[in-house]
Amino acid sequence: MHNPIPYDVVIAGAGPVGLFLACELRLARLSVLVLEQAQSPNSPLKRLPFGMRGLSAPTIEAFHRRGLLDAIAPPPAKDGSGANTLAAAHWMQQPRRPGGHFAGIQFYLDAVDSSQWPYRLPGPAGTSMAVEMEQLETMLATRATAMGVEIRRGLAVDGFDQSDEGVTIRAGGETFHARWLVGCDGGRSTVRKLGGFAFTGTDAEFTGYSVEVELADPDTLSPGRHYTPTGMYTYSRPGTIAMVEFDGAAFHRTEPITLEHVQAVFRRVSGTDVTLTALRLATTWTDRAYQASTYRNKRVLLAGDAAHIHSPLGGQGLNLGIGDAMNLGWKLAATIRGDAPAGLLDSYFDERHPVGAQILDWSRAQVALMRPSRSSRALEAIIRDLITTGDGATYFAERVWGVSLRHDLGGSHPLVGRSAPDFELADGVRLGERLRNGQGLLLDFDAHPALQALASRWNERISYVAGDARERLGLSAVLVRPDGFVTWAADGEPDLEEAARAASRWFGEAATL
Protein backbone atom coordinates (compact mmCIF):
# COMPACT_ATOMS: atom_id res chain seq x y z
CA MET A 1 0.00 0.00 0.00
CA HIS A 2 1.51 3.31 -1.07
CA ASN A 3 -0.74 5.56 1.03
CA PRO A 4 0.22 6.51 4.58
CA ILE A 5 -1.66 4.72 7.36
CA PRO A 6 -2.68 7.36 9.92
CA TYR A 7 -4.98 5.09 11.94
CA ASP A 8 -4.27 1.80 13.60
CA VAL A 9 -7.97 0.91 13.55
CA VAL A 10 -11.09 2.30 11.88
CA ILE A 11 -14.35 1.20 13.48
CA ALA A 12 -17.59 1.34 11.52
CA GLY A 13 -20.43 2.12 13.92
CA ALA A 14 -20.68 4.38 16.98
CA GLY A 15 -23.10 2.26 18.95
CA PRO A 16 -22.15 0.88 22.38
CA VAL A 17 -20.06 -1.95 20.90
CA GLY A 18 -18.04 0.28 18.57
CA LEU A 19 -17.50 2.94 21.23
CA PHE A 20 -16.49 0.45 23.91
CA LEU A 21 -14.06 -1.21 21.50
CA ALA A 22 -12.62 2.20 20.62
CA CYS A 23 -11.98 2.86 24.32
CA GLU A 24 -10.28 -0.52 24.66
CA LEU A 25 -7.95 0.23 21.77
CA ARG A 26 -7.12 3.69 23.06
CA LEU A 27 -6.29 2.12 26.43
CA ALA A 28 -3.46 0.45 24.50
CA ARG A 29 -2.52 3.86 23.02
CA LEU A 30 -3.58 2.99 19.46
CA SER A 31 -4.97 5.58 17.02
CA VAL A 32 -8.67 5.00 16.44
CA LEU A 33 -11.26 6.53 14.09
CA VAL A 34 -14.98 5.74 14.46
CA LEU A 35 -17.26 6.32 11.45
CA GLU A 36 -20.99 6.51 12.10
CA GLN A 37 -23.71 6.70 9.48
CA ALA A 38 -26.22 8.63 11.61
CA GLN A 39 -25.74 12.38 11.86
CA SER A 40 -27.11 12.44 15.40
CA PRO A 41 -26.76 9.86 18.16
CA ASN A 42 -30.17 10.77 19.54
CA SER A 43 -33.32 8.74 18.88
CA PRO A 44 -36.59 8.33 20.80
CA LEU A 45 -36.10 4.55 20.47
CA LYS A 46 -32.99 4.86 22.64
CA ARG A 47 -34.96 6.50 25.47
CA LEU A 48 -37.45 5.01 27.88
CA PRO A 49 -39.50 2.95 27.60
CA PHE A 50 -38.09 1.29 24.45
CA GLY A 51 -34.50 2.24 25.19
CA MET A 52 -34.24 0.25 28.40
CA ARG A 53 -31.63 -2.51 28.25
CA GLY A 54 -30.69 -5.13 30.79
CA LEU A 55 -27.01 -5.67 31.47
CA SER A 56 -25.75 -9.13 32.40
CA ALA A 57 -22.92 -10.01 34.77
CA PRO A 58 -20.10 -10.12 32.16
CA THR A 59 -21.09 -6.68 30.85
CA ILE A 60 -21.33 -5.16 34.32
CA GLU A 61 -17.95 -6.67 35.16
CA ALA A 62 -16.45 -5.23 31.97
CA PHE A 63 -17.66 -1.74 32.87
CA HIS A 64 -16.41 -2.17 36.43
CA ARG A 65 -12.98 -3.33 35.22
CA ARG A 66 -12.66 -0.20 33.08
CA GLY A 67 -13.95 2.26 35.69
CA LEU A 68 -17.21 2.95 33.86
CA LEU A 69 -19.74 1.43 36.23
CA ASP A 70 -20.40 4.54 38.30
CA ALA A 71 -21.07 6.54 35.13
CA ILE A 72 -23.93 4.24 34.06
CA ALA A 73 -25.35 3.21 37.43
CA PRO A 74 -28.86 4.71 37.47
CA PRO A 75 -29.75 7.15 40.25
CA PRO A 76 -32.04 6.01 43.06
CA ALA A 77 -35.78 6.29 42.52
CA LYS A 78 -37.65 8.94 44.45
CA ASP A 79 -38.91 6.35 46.92
CA GLY A 80 -35.36 5.10 47.43
CA SER A 81 -36.24 1.60 46.27
CA GLY A 82 -34.09 1.41 43.14
CA ALA A 83 -33.43 3.06 39.81
CA ASN A 84 -35.69 5.43 37.91
CA THR A 85 -34.91 3.38 34.81
CA LEU A 86 -36.43 0.32 36.41
CA ALA A 87 -39.64 2.12 37.27
CA ALA A 88 -40.59 1.99 33.59
CA ALA A 89 -40.82 -1.80 33.71
CA HIS A 90 -44.19 -3.37 34.45
CA TRP A 91 -42.57 -6.14 36.47
CA MET A 92 -41.29 -3.65 39.07
CA GLN A 93 -44.83 -3.38 40.39
CA GLN A 94 -44.91 -7.04 41.44
CA PRO A 95 -44.71 -8.10 45.10
CA ARG A 96 -41.82 -10.53 44.37
CA ARG A 97 -38.72 -9.11 42.70
CA PRO A 98 -38.16 -10.85 39.35
CA GLY A 99 -34.62 -11.61 38.24
CA GLY A 100 -35.37 -12.09 34.55
CA HIS A 101 -37.45 -14.20 32.22
CA PHE A 102 -37.44 -16.90 29.59
CA ALA A 103 -39.99 -16.22 26.83
CA GLY A 104 -41.84 -14.03 29.32
CA ILE A 105 -41.90 -16.65 32.08
CA GLN A 106 -40.27 -15.00 35.06
CA PHE A 107 -37.91 -16.37 37.65
CA TYR A 108 -37.62 -14.63 41.00
CA LEU A 109 -34.61 -13.51 43.00
CA ASP A 110 -35.73 -15.22 46.19
CA ALA A 111 -35.64 -18.60 44.41
CA VAL A 112 -32.09 -18.27 43.05
CA ASP A 113 -29.39 -20.14 44.96
CA SER A 114 -26.21 -18.13 44.43
CA SER A 115 -24.25 -20.55 46.61
CA GLN A 116 -23.99 -22.73 43.50
CA TRP A 117 -21.56 -20.15 42.07
CA PRO A 118 -18.51 -20.64 44.33
CA TYR A 119 -16.28 -18.32 42.32
CA ARG A 120 -18.49 -15.24 42.52
CA LEU A 121 -17.79 -12.69 45.24
CA PRO A 122 -20.03 -9.78 46.27
CA GLY A 123 -18.88 -6.40 45.02
CA PRO A 124 -19.79 -3.39 42.90
CA ALA A 125 -20.41 -5.54 39.80
CA GLY A 126 -23.70 -7.33 40.39
CA THR A 127 -25.46 -9.90 38.26
CA SER A 128 -27.92 -7.61 36.48
CA MET A 129 -28.94 -3.98 36.10
CA ALA A 130 -30.96 -1.81 33.72
CA VAL A 131 -29.73 1.18 31.72
CA GLU A 132 -31.12 3.53 29.15
CA MET A 133 -29.47 3.08 25.74
CA GLU A 134 -29.10 6.81 25.11
CA GLN A 135 -27.46 7.33 28.49
CA LEU A 136 -25.09 4.44 27.85
CA GLU A 137 -24.08 5.66 24.39
CA THR A 138 -23.61 9.22 25.64
CA MET A 139 -21.33 8.02 28.42
CA LEU A 140 -19.25 5.85 26.09
CA ALA A 141 -18.95 8.60 23.47
CA THR A 142 -17.83 11.07 26.13
CA ARG A 143 -15.26 8.60 27.45
CA ALA A 144 -14.01 7.73 23.97
CA THR A 145 -13.57 11.38 23.02
CA ALA A 146 -11.77 12.13 26.28
CA MET A 147 -9.39 9.25 25.57
CA GLY A 148 -8.55 10.64 22.12
CA VAL A 149 -10.84 8.63 19.85
CA GLU A 150 -11.87 10.53 16.72
CA ILE A 151 -15.61 10.14 15.99
CA ARG A 152 -16.97 11.23 12.60
CA ARG A 153 -20.77 11.19 12.26
CA GLY A 154 -22.74 11.26 9.03
CA LEU A 155 -20.21 9.01 7.29
CA ALA A 156 -21.24 5.48 6.33
CA VAL A 157 -18.66 3.01 5.05
CA ASP A 158 -19.56 2.29 1.41
CA GLY A 159 -16.45 0.48 0.23
CA PHE A 160 -13.00 -0.73 1.18
CA ASP A 161 -9.96 -2.52 -0.19
CA GLN A 162 -7.36 -4.35 1.82
CA SER A 163 -3.75 -5.37 1.29
CA ASP A 164 -1.11 -7.06 3.38
CA GLU A 165 -0.35 -3.74 5.11
CA GLY A 166 -3.77 -2.28 5.76
CA VAL A 167 -7.23 -1.25 4.62
CA THR A 168 -8.38 1.68 2.48
CA ILE A 169 -11.89 2.70 3.55
CA ARG A 170 -14.31 4.84 1.57
CA ALA A 171 -17.10 6.67 3.37
CA GLY A 172 -19.23 9.58 2.22
CA GLY A 173 -16.83 10.62 -0.52
CA GLU A 174 -13.81 10.56 1.79
CA THR A 175 -11.01 8.01 1.98
CA PHE A 176 -9.35 6.74 5.15
CA HIS A 177 -6.39 4.42 5.68
CA ALA A 178 -5.97 2.06 8.62
CA ARG A 179 -4.12 -1.09 9.56
CA TRP A 180 -7.40 -2.77 10.54
CA LEU A 181 -11.13 -2.25 10.00
CA VAL A 182 -13.74 -3.49 12.48
CA GLY A 183 -17.40 -3.65 11.51
CA CYS A 184 -19.61 -2.75 14.49
CA ASP A 185 -22.28 -1.40 12.15
CA GLY A 186 -25.27 -3.47 13.22
CA GLY A 187 -27.40 -6.30 11.93
CA ARG A 188 -27.47 -4.94 8.35
CA SER A 189 -23.70 -4.42 8.43
CA THR A 190 -22.23 -2.96 5.27
CA VAL A 191 -18.77 -4.09 6.35
CA ARG A 192 -19.99 -7.67 6.64
CA LYS A 193 -21.63 -7.57 3.22
CA LEU A 194 -18.73 -5.88 1.44
CA GLY A 195 -16.24 -8.14 3.20
CA GLY A 196 -17.84 -11.29 1.82
CA PHE A 197 -18.60 -12.83 5.21
CA ALA A 198 -20.99 -15.80 5.05
CA PHE A 199 -24.07 -15.10 7.20
CA THR A 200 -26.35 -18.05 7.87
CA GLY A 201 -29.07 -19.09 10.27
CA THR A 202 -32.85 -19.36 10.65
CA ASP A 203 -35.44 -17.03 9.17
CA ALA A 204 -38.04 -15.11 11.14
CA GLU A 205 -41.35 -16.55 12.28
CA PHE A 206 -42.98 -13.37 13.56
CA THR A 207 -43.20 -9.61 13.33
CA GLY A 208 -42.60 -7.98 16.68
CA TYR A 209 -43.95 -4.52 17.49
CA SER A 210 -42.91 -2.01 20.14
CA VAL A 211 -45.38 0.85 20.23
CA GLU A 212 -46.33 3.81 22.37
CA VAL A 213 -50.04 4.56 21.97
CA GLU A 214 -53.02 6.27 23.50
CA LEU A 215 -55.97 4.04 24.34
CA ALA A 216 -59.62 4.99 24.60
CA ASP A 217 -59.80 3.05 27.88
CA PRO A 218 -56.40 2.02 29.26
CA ASP A 219 -57.96 0.22 32.24
CA THR A 220 -59.53 -2.45 30.03
CA LEU A 221 -56.13 -4.16 29.66
CA SER A 222 -54.24 -5.92 32.44
CA PRO A 223 -50.59 -4.93 32.74
CA GLY A 224 -47.97 -7.62 32.19
CA ARG A 225 -47.23 -10.29 29.62
CA HIS A 226 -50.01 -12.32 28.05
CA TYR A 227 -50.00 -15.38 25.78
CA THR A 228 -52.95 -15.64 23.42
CA PRO A 229 -54.15 -18.10 20.74
CA THR A 230 -52.61 -15.84 18.08
CA GLY A 231 -49.43 -14.48 19.66
CA MET A 232 -48.16 -12.67 22.73
CA TYR A 233 -48.27 -9.11 24.08
CA THR A 234 -46.96 -7.12 27.02
CA TYR A 235 -48.79 -4.06 28.27
CA SER A 236 -47.56 -1.33 30.61
CA ARG A 237 -49.81 1.60 31.51
CA PRO A 238 -50.65 4.03 30.20
CA GLY A 239 -49.82 3.02 26.62
CA THR A 240 -46.66 0.96 26.12
CA ILE A 241 -47.23 -2.27 24.18
CA ALA A 242 -44.88 -4.94 22.86
CA MET A 243 -46.45 -7.74 20.82
CA VAL A 244 -45.60 -10.46 18.34
CA GLU A 245 -47.72 -11.82 15.50
CA PHE A 246 -46.60 -15.09 13.92
CA ASP A 247 -46.90 -13.95 10.32
CA GLY A 248 -43.45 -15.00 9.08
CA ALA A 249 -42.24 -11.40 9.52
CA ALA A 250 -44.46 -10.36 6.61
CA PHE A 251 -44.84 -6.78 7.84
CA HIS A 252 -41.30 -6.05 9.08
CA ARG A 253 -39.93 -3.05 7.16
CA THR A 254 -42.32 -3.57 4.27
CA GLU A 255 -44.55 -0.51 4.66
CA PRO A 256 -45.16 2.43 7.03
CA ILE A 257 -46.52 1.61 10.48
CA THR A 258 -49.92 3.28 10.84
CA LEU A 259 -52.36 3.61 13.72
CA GLU A 260 -54.89 1.53 11.81
CA HIS A 261 -52.42 -1.27 11.20
CA VAL A 262 -51.24 -1.38 14.83
CA GLN A 263 -54.83 -1.46 16.08
CA ALA A 264 -55.73 -4.30 13.71
CA VAL A 265 -52.71 -6.35 14.76
CA PHE A 266 -53.28 -5.66 18.45
CA ARG A 267 -56.91 -6.72 18.23
CA ARG A 268 -55.88 -9.96 16.52
CA VAL A 269 -53.12 -10.69 19.03
CA SER A 270 -54.94 -9.62 22.20
CA GLY A 271 -58.37 -10.93 21.24
CA THR A 272 -59.93 -7.69 22.49
CA ASP A 273 -61.77 -4.86 20.76
CA VAL A 274 -59.61 -2.19 22.42
CA THR A 275 -59.49 1.14 20.55
CA LEU A 276 -56.24 3.02 19.97
CA THR A 277 -56.72 6.76 19.58
CA ALA A 278 -53.15 7.85 18.78
CA LEU A 279 -49.83 6.30 17.73
CA ARG A 280 -46.91 8.16 19.27
CA LEU A 281 -43.99 5.86 18.47
CA ALA A 282 -43.63 2.51 16.73
CA THR A 283 -40.96 0.11 15.49
CA THR A 284 -40.89 -3.50 14.36
CA TRP A 285 -38.44 -6.35 14.91
CA THR A 286 -38.21 -10.07 14.19
CA ASP A 287 -36.73 -13.31 15.49
CA ARG A 288 -34.37 -13.84 12.54
CA ALA A 289 -31.28 -15.57 13.97
CA TYR A 290 -28.13 -15.41 11.81
CA GLN A 291 -24.41 -15.58 12.56
CA ALA A 292 -21.26 -14.93 10.55
CA SER A 293 -19.30 -18.12 9.84
CA THR A 294 -16.08 -16.28 10.66
CA TYR A 295 -15.41 -13.00 12.45
CA ARG A 296 -12.27 -12.17 10.48
CA ASN A 297 -11.34 -11.79 6.83
CA LYS A 298 -7.66 -10.82 6.71
CA ARG A 299 -7.58 -7.28 8.18
CA VAL A 300 -11.33 -6.89 8.56
CA LEU A 301 -13.13 -8.01 11.73
CA LEU A 302 -16.74 -8.11 12.92
CA ALA A 303 -18.21 -7.52 16.38
CA GLY A 304 -21.66 -7.10 17.88
CA ASP A 305 -24.77 -7.31 15.70
CA ALA A 306 -22.58 -7.20 12.60
CA ALA A 307 -21.43 -10.70 13.58
CA HIS A 308 -24.72 -12.09 14.90
CA ILE A 309 -28.39 -11.14 15.01
CA HIS A 310 -31.33 -12.60 16.91
CA SER A 311 -34.58 -11.49 18.50
CA PRO A 312 -34.34 -9.00 21.39
CA LEU A 313 -36.08 -11.49 23.70
CA GLY A 314 -34.29 -11.44 27.02
CA GLY A 315 -32.09 -8.47 26.08
CA GLN A 316 -28.99 -10.51 25.22
CA GLY A 317 -27.81 -8.62 22.13
CA LEU A 318 -26.12 -5.65 23.80
CA ASN A 319 -24.39 -7.93 26.29
CA LEU A 320 -23.17 -10.25 23.55
CA GLY A 321 -21.70 -7.29 21.65
CA ILE A 322 -19.93 -5.77 24.67
CA GLY A 323 -18.46 -9.20 25.35
CA ASP A 324 -17.13 -9.27 21.78
CA ALA A 325 -15.50 -5.86 22.23
CA MET A 326 -13.94 -6.74 25.59
CA ASN A 327 -12.53 -9.95 24.13
CA LEU A 328 -11.28 -8.40 20.90
CA GLY A 329 -9.77 -5.13 22.10
CA TRP A 330 -6.69 -6.34 23.94
CA LYS A 331 -6.02 -9.10 21.40
CA LEU A 332 -6.12 -6.73 18.45
CA ALA A 333 -3.96 -4.24 20.35
CA ALA A 334 -1.31 -6.89 21.06
CA THR A 335 -1.39 -7.91 17.40
CA ILE A 336 -0.82 -4.33 16.26
CA ARG A 337 1.95 -3.79 18.85
CA GLY A 338 3.66 -6.93 17.59
CA ASP A 339 3.90 -8.77 20.92
CA ALA A 340 0.91 -11.10 20.44
CA PRO A 341 1.58 -14.82 20.67
CA ALA A 342 0.71 -16.99 17.66
CA GLY A 343 -3.02 -17.45 17.26
CA LEU A 344 -4.05 -14.79 19.78
CA LEU A 345 -6.29 -12.89 17.35
CA ASP A 346 -7.79 -16.16 16.09
CA SER A 347 -8.83 -16.94 19.67
CA TYR A 348 -11.33 -14.05 19.41
CA PHE A 349 -13.44 -16.11 17.02
CA ASP A 350 -12.70 -19.37 18.81
CA GLU A 351 -14.03 -17.99 22.09
CA ARG A 352 -16.82 -15.66 20.98
CA HIS A 353 -18.44 -17.63 18.15
CA PRO A 354 -19.63 -20.44 20.48
CA VAL A 355 -21.01 -17.85 22.90
CA GLY A 356 -22.94 -16.20 20.06
CA ALA A 357 -24.24 -19.56 18.79
CA GLN A 358 -25.49 -20.40 22.27
CA ILE A 359 -27.34 -17.08 22.55
CA LEU A 360 -28.96 -17.63 19.13
CA ASP A 361 -30.20 -21.03 20.27
CA TRP A 362 -31.44 -19.48 23.53
CA SER A 363 -33.44 -17.02 21.43
CA ARG A 364 -34.80 -19.78 19.18
CA ALA A 365 -35.91 -21.79 22.21
CA GLN A 366 -37.91 -18.82 23.49
CA VAL A 367 -39.59 -18.41 20.11
CA ALA A 368 -40.56 -22.08 20.14
CA LEU A 369 -42.20 -21.57 23.52
CA MET A 370 -44.11 -18.50 22.28
CA ARG A 371 -45.70 -20.09 19.23
CA PRO A 372 -49.51 -20.03 19.36
CA SER A 373 -49.95 -23.80 19.41
CA ARG A 374 -51.17 -26.43 21.87
CA SER A 375 -47.74 -28.05 22.01
CA SER A 376 -46.07 -24.74 22.91
CA ARG A 377 -48.67 -24.05 25.61
CA ALA A 378 -48.08 -27.54 27.02
CA LEU A 379 -44.32 -26.92 27.04
CA GLU A 380 -44.90 -23.51 28.63
CA ALA A 381 -46.71 -25.18 31.55
CA ILE A 382 -43.72 -27.44 32.16
CA ILE A 383 -41.24 -24.55 32.03
CA ARG A 384 -43.42 -22.57 34.44
CA ASP A 385 -43.26 -25.45 36.91
CA LEU A 386 -39.50 -25.88 36.51
CA ILE A 387 -38.65 -22.18 36.80
CA THR A 388 -40.34 -21.94 40.21
CA THR A 389 -37.99 -24.53 41.72
CA GLY A 390 -34.69 -23.52 43.27
CA ASP A 391 -32.62 -25.47 40.76
CA GLY A 392 -34.75 -24.21 37.87
CA ALA A 393 -34.57 -20.55 38.89
CA THR A 394 -30.82 -20.87 39.45
CA TYR A 395 -30.30 -22.46 36.03
CA PHE A 396 -32.23 -19.73 34.22
CA ALA A 397 -30.45 -17.05 36.25
CA GLU A 398 -27.08 -18.54 35.26
CA ARG A 399 -27.99 -18.34 31.60
CA VAL A 400 -29.77 -14.98 31.59
CA TRP A 401 -27.22 -13.26 33.84
CA GLY A 402 -24.26 -14.87 32.10
CA VAL A 403 -22.66 -16.16 35.30
CA SER A 404 -22.11 -19.61 33.77
CA LEU A 405 -19.92 -18.22 30.96
CA ARG A 406 -16.67 -20.14 30.64
CA HIS A 407 -14.19 -20.23 27.76
CA ASP A 408 -12.30 -23.41 27.03
CA LEU A 409 -8.77 -22.23 27.85
CA GLY A 410 -7.38 -25.56 29.00
CA GLY A 411 -5.65 -25.66 32.36
CA SER A 412 -6.25 -27.95 35.29
CA HIS A 413 -7.96 -25.57 37.71
CA PRO A 414 -11.79 -25.23 37.60
CA LEU A 415 -11.49 -21.43 37.70
CA VAL A 416 -9.52 -21.26 34.42
CA GLY A 417 -11.68 -19.85 31.63
CA ARG A 418 -14.08 -18.17 34.03
CA SER A 419 -14.44 -14.53 34.93
CA ALA A 420 -12.10 -13.67 37.78
CA PRO A 421 -13.72 -13.20 41.20
CA ASP A 422 -13.64 -9.57 42.31
CA PHE A 423 -11.22 -10.12 45.17
CA GLU A 424 -10.96 -7.33 47.72
CA LEU A 425 -7.28 -7.11 48.55
CA ALA A 426 -5.85 -6.23 51.94
CA ASP A 427 -5.34 -2.61 50.87
CA GLY A 428 -9.06 -2.31 50.06
CA VAL A 429 -8.53 -2.22 46.27
CA ARG A 430 -10.53 -4.74 44.27
CA LEU A 431 -9.35 -6.89 41.40
CA GLY A 432 -11.63 -5.02 39.01
CA GLU A 433 -9.89 -1.76 39.83
CA ARG A 434 -6.49 -3.36 39.18
CA LEU A 435 -7.54 -4.15 35.60
CA ARG A 436 -8.28 -0.56 34.59
CA ASN A 437 -4.90 -0.14 32.91
CA GLY A 438 -5.77 -2.83 30.34
CA GLN A 439 -2.88 -5.09 31.35
CA GLY A 440 -2.93 -8.67 32.56
CA LEU A 441 -2.74 -9.24 36.31
CA LEU A 442 -0.91 -11.77 38.46
CA LEU A 443 -2.38 -11.84 41.97
CA ASP A 444 -0.01 -13.50 44.40
CA PHE A 445 -1.78 -13.92 47.72
CA ASP A 446 1.25 -15.53 49.43
CA ALA A 447 3.92 -13.26 47.89
CA HIS A 448 6.05 -15.92 46.21
CA PRO A 449 9.34 -14.33 45.07
CA ALA A 450 9.47 -16.70 42.10
CA LEU A 451 6.07 -15.49 40.86
CA GLN A 452 7.18 -11.87 41.12
CA ALA A 453 10.27 -12.70 39.06
CA LEU A 454 8.11 -14.50 36.51
CA ALA A 455 5.72 -11.54 36.12
CA SER A 456 8.62 -9.14 35.66
CA ARG A 457 9.62 -11.01 32.52
CA TRP A 458 6.53 -9.65 30.78
CA ASN A 459 7.23 -6.03 31.80
CA GLU A 460 4.17 -3.83 31.10
CA ARG A 461 2.00 -6.67 29.83
CA ILE A 462 1.39 -8.21 33.27
CA SER A 463 0.96 -6.28 36.52
CA TYR A 464 2.09 -8.06 39.67
CA VAL A 465 0.23 -7.59 42.94
CA ALA A 466 1.19 -9.39 46.15
CA GLY A 467 -0.92 -9.48 49.29
CA ASP A 468 -3.75 -11.29 50.95
CA ALA A 469 -7.46 -10.78 50.21
CA ARG A 470 -10.51 -10.53 52.41
CA GLU A 471 -11.73 -13.77 50.83
CA ARG A 472 -9.30 -15.65 48.59
CA LEU A 473 -11.50 -18.72 47.93
CA GLY A 474 -8.70 -21.08 48.86
CA LEU A 475 -6.40 -19.77 46.12
CA SER A 476 -2.70 -18.99 46.47
CA ALA A 477 -2.27 -17.19 43.11
CA VAL A 478 -4.22 -16.37 39.94
CA LEU A 479 -3.24 -15.02 36.51
CA VAL A 480 -5.89 -12.89 34.82
CA ARG A 481 -6.08 -11.72 31.19
CA PRO A 482 -6.77 -8.04 30.41
CA ASP A 483 -10.45 -8.90 29.80
CA GLY A 484 -10.77 -10.33 33.31
CA PHE A 485 -10.77 -14.04 32.49
CA VAL A 486 -8.59 -16.41 34.47
CA THR A 487 -5.89 -18.21 32.50
CA TRP A 488 -4.04 -19.87 35.40
CA ALA A 489 -4.77 -20.46 39.09
CA ALA A 490 -3.21 -22.36 41.99
CA ASP A 491 -4.67 -23.54 45.29
CA GLY A 492 -1.39 -24.47 46.96
CA GLU A 493 2.25 -24.18 45.99
CA PRO A 494 2.22 -22.64 42.48
CA ASP A 495 3.49 -24.63 39.52
CA LEU A 496 5.87 -22.11 37.97
CA GLU A 497 6.22 -23.96 34.70
CA GLU A 498 2.45 -24.08 34.25
CA ALA A 499 2.20 -20.37 35.12
CA ALA A 500 4.92 -19.52 32.61
CA ARG A 501 3.19 -21.53 29.88
CA ALA A 502 -0.07 -19.69 30.55
CA ALA A 503 1.66 -16.32 30.46
CA SER A 504 3.41 -17.18 27.19
CA ARG A 505 0.20 -18.42 25.61
CA TRP A 506 -1.71 -15.19 26.24
CA PHE A 507 0.97 -12.51 26.56
CA GLY A 508 3.58 -13.66 24.05
CA GLU A 509 7.27 -14.22 24.59
CA ALA A 510 8.83 -12.84 27.74
CA ALA A 511 10.45 -9.44 27.19
CA THR A 512 13.36 -10.27 29.50
CA LEU A 513 14.94 -13.49 30.69
Domain edge (last residue) among 238, 269, 286: 286
CA distance 18 to 29: 17
Residue 419 lies in a domain: no
Work out the burial of residue 504: count CB atoms within 10 Å of its CB; fewer than 13 is exposed, 13-18 middle, 19 or more buried.
middle
Residues 192 and 211 reside in one and the same domain: no
| Residue 220: predicted pLDDT | 87
Residue 410 lies in a domain: no
Residues 44 and 131 reside in one and the same domain: yes
Q: What share of the chain is helix, strand, coil (3-state, %, to 5)?
A: 35, 25, 40
Residue 33 lies in a domain: yes
| Residue 92: predicted pLDDT | 53
Residue 307 lies in a domain: yes
Position 380, amino acid: E
Residues 162 and 262 reside in one and the same domain: no
- Determine which helix (DSSP H) or strand (DSSP E) holds 138, and give its type and residue range: helix 133-147
Residues 281 and 307 reside in one and the same domain: no
Residue 407 lies in a domain: no
Residues 317 and 299 reside in one and the same domain: yes
Residues 217 and 332 reside in one and the same domain: no
Residues 211 and 191 reside in one and the same domain: no
CA distance 340 to 467: 29
What domain range includes position 481? 431-507
Diameter over CA atoms, the chain: 78
Supply the CATH number for residue 489's domain.
3.40.30.120
Residues 226 and 366 reside in one and the same domain: no
* 419 three-state secondary structure: strand
Position 370, amino acid: M
CA distance 418 to 402: 11
CA distance 321 to 316: 9
Residues 45 and 174 reside in one and the same domain: yes
| Residue 21 Cα distances to 33, 140, 162, 301, angstroms | 11, 10, 21, 12
Residues 469 and 334 reside in one and the same domain: no
**In the chain, how many H helices and how many E strands?**
14, 24
Residues 135 and 37 reside in one and the same domain: yes
The pLDDT profile of the chain, 513 residues, written as one tens digit per residue, is 444 679 999 999 999 999 999 999 999 999 999 999 999 898 888 888 888 899 999 999 999 999 999 998 754 444 333 344 444 454 455 678 999 999 989 999 999 999 999 999 999 999 999 999 999 999 999 999 999 999 999 999 999 999 999 999 999 999 999 999 999 999 999 999 999 999 999 999 999 999 999 999 888 899 988 989 999 999 999 999 999 999 999 999 888 999 999 999 999 999 999 999 999 999 999 999 999 999 999 999 999 999 999 998 777 889 999 999 999 999 999 999 999 999 999 999 999 999 999 999 999 999 999 999 999 999 999 999 999 999 999 999 999 999 999 999 998 899 999 999 999 999 999 999 999 999 999 999 999 999 999 999 998 899 999 999 999 999 999 999 999 999 999 999 999 999 999 999 999 999 754
Task: Report CA Rg, the chain.
Answer: 24
| Residue 512: predicted pLDDT | 58
- Length of the chain in residues, anyone? 513
CA distance 186 to 15: 8
Residue 219 lies in a domain: yes
* 331 three-state secondary structure: helix
| Residue 152: predicted pLDDT | 98
Spatial contact of 212 and 235, defined as CB atoms under 8 Å apart: no
| Residue 4: predicted pLDDT | 63
CA distance 356 to 327: 13
| Residue 250 Cα distances to 37, 135, 502, angstroms | 27, 33, 51
The predicted model scores a pTM of 0.94
Domain edge (last residue) among 270, 286, 302: 286
Spatial contact of 210 and 313, defined as CB atoms under 8 Å apart: no
Spatial contact of 16 and 136, defined as CB atoms under 8 Å apart: yes
Please report the sign of the dihedral spanned by the C-alpha atoms of residue 215, residue 219, residue 220, residue 224.
positive
Residue 411 lies in a domain: no
> How many domains are contained in the chain?
3
Domain edge (last residue) among 226, 254, 286: 286
Residue 416 lies in a domain: no
Supply the CATH number for residue 268's domain.
3.30.70.2450
Q: Where are the alpha helices (DSSP H) in 173-311?
A: 190-194, 259-270
Supply the CATH number for residue 296's domain.
3.50.50.60
| Residue 367 Cα distances to 4, 236, 286, 507, angstroms | 49, 22, 10, 41
Spatial contact of 235 and 223, defined as CB atoms under 8 Å apart: yes
Residues 280 and 294 reside in one and the same domain: no
